[in-house]
Amino acid sequence: MALFQKNSKAEEIGPVDLPRHIAIIMDGNGRWAKKRGLPRTAGHAAGAETFRRIATYCKDIGVEYLTVYAFSTENWKRPPEEVAAIMGLLEKYLGEAIEKMERDGIRMKFFGDTSVLSDKLRALIHETDGITAHLGKTFQANVCVNYGGRDEIVRAANAWAERVRAGETAPLDEGTFSSLLDSAGIPDPELLIRPGGEKRISNYLLWQSAYTELVFTDRLWPDFSEKDIDAAIAEYRSRSRRFGGL
């Protein structure tokens, strides 16, 4: 199955009030597998296929950015065999993506502290960065790996401290701080979707989600469909976004 292939069945969604940036917490892979008597790793493989399909759909309907939570800073606490399986899937699908990114005009960026990842995965990420750097404005998928919202904020604060030690005298404002985050240059998500039944954001995009609309669904991530994206966008459109005003 081709990554980001054209989905001829994607339902047409008009541009009015379409979120530019959708974030998703890909939750429920393990429970999906358990319900079927399968190992948790099978759930992660199914979830990876769902990511392919949903990313394609978002691209086709005109969403500019999709950010997904693939592996958190807390996920290292999981059994070593499960962590290894997740990292193996990342390597596999990133390798396939690299073959198609330039051809299909797909940008890809990774959020998180990648310094602790395997040499192979870091090399693949470096290669995607190189391709993304010279592509024009197009759909961009952001994948959060070894990512935590608090960790991202601490890393940004440390980067600012380094600037101050180097002689920076300008006051720190929100714009400058945002430029130090993994998401620098990317608009904040207007819509965050969490499948799987949990109703929390689990240390995800804490700074960026200050005014993000949250949609929760009981659908487990491997079962998540294009219709679920449509429903979340419909819910987003039904809300009045006042940003503290009237």
- For the annotated catalytic residues, the residue numbers are 27, 75
Sign of the dihedral defined by the CA atoms of residues 208, 212, 217, 222, in that order: negative
Tokens of 149: 């919202």
DSSP 209: T
Mapping DSSP to helix (H, G, I), strand (E, B) and coil, where does residue 149 land?
helix
Inter-residue contact 93 to 3 (CB < 8 Å): yes
* Phi/psi of residue 147, nearest 5 degrees: -115, 140
Tokens of 12: 């047409």
Contacts (Cβ under 8 Å, ≥6 apart) of 35:
none
**Cα distances (Å, whole numbers) of residue 213 to 6, 111, 210, 236:** 28, 21, 9, 7
